[in-house]
C-alpha cells in the first residue's frame, strides 16, 4: 500500500480533532450554506484546513479539492499538467454534519486520492463507531485492517438498502427521492437513512448494507468510498447505469442486485438547475 502509512494517521488525527471539537457543537452554533438545511460548523472548516496543511506537507505536488475550501476540481477529464498525471485529494472533512451536530455517531472524515479523475486511494474514519475503512487501487478494501467484501446474495426482496435526501435539501421540485424511497421500500426488507453517504457506501462494501442510492451527491461525498466499494467487489454507476456519477445520481450494490435495482430508475432525469 503506497499511501496508507502516511494517509491513515493523518485522517485518524483530524477525526480525533473533530471528536474533541464536537463537545462545543450544538445545533444553534452551526452555520448554514446553500440552504438553511445545509449545515456547516467550525469543525468542518478546521478539519479541512488541517487536512490541507498536512497533505500539502506530505505530498507538495498534489492538488486539493475540499467541500469547504474548494480547490482544483478533480474532473474526469483530469487536467494533465505538463504531461504529468494530476493527483488530487478529494476531501469531505465531516460527512454527516447533521449527525455530528446532533451528537449522533454516524459521521466520518473522508479523504480520497484521485489521479486524472480516477480513485487510487481512499480513507474513511468514523471515530465514534471506531471504524476506519481503507482501500488502494488493486489492493482490496479493509475495515480496521480486516478485508471486506460486498454481500454475495443478489435479491432485492431480501435486501437492506440505504439512501439520502440531498435533493430535498437542494429544493428539487420536479423529481425527488421520495418516489424511489417509497417504491423500493415496498420491495426490499428495509431502507436505512444513516446520514453519511461515505459511510452508507462503506457499509455496502462491508456487507452490512446490500445497496445504496442517492440523487444529488457531490464528488467529495464519494471521493474515498467509491474505491472502498469497488475494491470490495461492488458496482458503482449513475442512475442510468453509466459512469457520470454522482452528477447523474449514484447506485452502488453487488453486481446482481445492482442490475435489479437499476431497472427501478428507468426514465430518471436530473432536473435542470
Residue 197 interacts with ligand IPD (CB under 6 A): yes or no: yes
> For residues 18 and 127, is the Cβ–Cβ distance under 8 A?
yes
214 binds Ca ion (CB under 5 A): no
Stretch that binds Ca ion, among 2-10, 71-79, 94-102, 185-193 (CB under 5 A): 94-102
Which of 8, 48, 95, 248 is the binder for Ca ion (CB under 5 A)? 95
By CB under 6 A, name the one of 119, 195, 211, 223 that touches ligand IPD.
195
Count the Cβ atoms, other than its own, within 10 Å of residue 225.
36
Draw the binding track, 79-98, toward ligand IPD (x: CB under 6 A; -: no contact): -------------x--xxxx
Which entry of ligand IPD, Ca ion, none binds 22, CB below 5 to 8 A by partner kind? Answer: none
Total binding residues for ligand IPD by CB under 6 A?
Answer: 13
**48: partner contacted, choices Ca ion, ligand IPD, none (Cβ within 5-8 A by kind):** none
The SS3 call for residue 152 is coil
Residue nearest to Ca ion (CB): 95
> Binding residue for ligand IPD (CB under 6 A) from 132, 196, 202, 237?
196
Binding segment for Ca ion (CB under 5 A), chosen from 54-62, 174-182, 219-227, 232-240, is 219-227
Give bridge partners of residue 95 from the DSSP assignment.
108
Tell me how far apart the alpha carbons of residues 104 and 136 are, in angstroms, rounded to a whole number: 29
Binding-site string for Ca ion from residue 45 to residue 74, where x marks contact by CB under 5 A and - marks none: ----------------------x-------
217 binds ligand IPD (CB under 6 A): yes
- Contacts with ligand IPD in 158-187 (CB under 6 A)? 164, 166
Nearest alpha carbon to residue 136 among 150, 126, 121, 123: 121
Residue selected from 8, 214, 221, 231 as contacting Ca ion according to rule CB under 5 A: 221
Task: Give alpha helix (H) positions in the chain.
Answer: 4-22, 42-58, 97-101, 166-169, 178-187, 197-205, 219-222, 225-231, 255-262
Pairing mode of beta strands 160-163, 190-192 = parallel
The answer to whether 47 and 18 have CB atoms below 8 angstroms apart is yes
Q: Does 200 bind Ca ion (CB under 5 A)?
A: no
First to last CA, the chain: 41
Q: Coil, strand, or helix at residue 55?
A: helix
CA distance 173 to 167: 9
Please tell me whether residue 238 binds Ca ion under the rule CB under 5 A: no
Half-sphere exposure of 63 (CA within 13 A, CB side): 21
**x/- map, 95-134, ligand IPD, by CB under 6 A:** xxxx------------------------------------
Sign of the alpha-carbon dihedral angle for 98, 112, 118, 148: negative
> Which positions touch ligand IPD (CB under 6 A)?
92, 95-98, 164, 166, 195-197, 214, 217, 221
> Which positions touch Ca ion (CB under 5 A)?
67, 92, 95, 221
Amino acid at each position: 500500500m503506497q499511501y496508507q502509512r502516511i494517509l491513515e494517521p493523518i485522517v485518524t488525527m483530524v477525526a480525533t480533532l473533530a471528536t474533541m471539537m464536537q463537545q462545543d457543537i450544538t445545533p444553534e452554533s452551526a452555520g448554514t450554506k446553500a440552504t438553511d438545511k445545509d449545515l456547516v460548523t467550525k469543525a468542518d472548516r478546521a478539519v479541512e484546513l488541517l487536512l490541507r496543511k498536512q497533505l500539502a506537507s506530505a505530498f507538495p505536488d498534489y492538488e486539493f479539492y475540499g467541500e469547504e475550501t474548494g480547490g482544483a476540481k478533480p474532473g474526469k477529464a483530469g487536467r494533465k499538467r505538463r504531461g504529468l498525471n494530476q493527483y488530487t485529494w478529494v476531501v469531505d472533512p465531516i460527512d454527516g454534519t447533521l449527525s455530528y451536530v446532533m451528537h449522533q455517531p454516524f459521521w466520518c472524515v473522508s479523504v480520497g486520492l484521485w489521479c486524472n479523475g480516477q480513485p487510487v486511494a481512499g480513507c474513511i474514519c468514523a471515530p465514534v463507531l471506531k471504524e476506519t475503512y481503507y482501500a488502494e487501487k488493486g489492493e482490496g478494501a479493509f475495515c480496521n485492517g480486516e478485508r471486506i467484501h460486498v454481500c454475495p446474495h443478489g435479491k432485492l426482496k431480501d435486501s437492506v438498502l440505504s439512501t439520502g435526501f440531498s435533493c430535498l435539501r437542494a429544493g428539487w421540485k420536479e423529481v425527488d427521492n421520495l418516489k424511489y424511497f417509497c417504491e423500493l421500500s415496498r420491495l426490499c426488507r428495509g431502507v436505512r437513512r444513516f446520514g453519511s453517504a461515505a459511510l452508507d457506501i462503506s457499509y455496502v462494501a462491508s456487507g452490512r448494507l446490500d445497496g445504496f442510492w442517492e440523487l444529488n451527491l457531490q464528488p467529495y461525498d464519494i471521493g474515498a468510498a467509491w474505491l472502498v466499494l469497488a475494491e470490495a467487489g461492488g458496482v458503482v454507476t449513475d442512475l442510468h447505469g453509466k459512469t457520470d456519477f454522482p452528477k447523474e445520481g449514484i447506485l452502488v450494490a453487488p453486481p446482481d442486485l445492482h442490475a435489479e435495482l437499476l431497472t427501478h430508475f428507468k426514465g430518471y432525469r436530473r432536473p435542470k438547475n
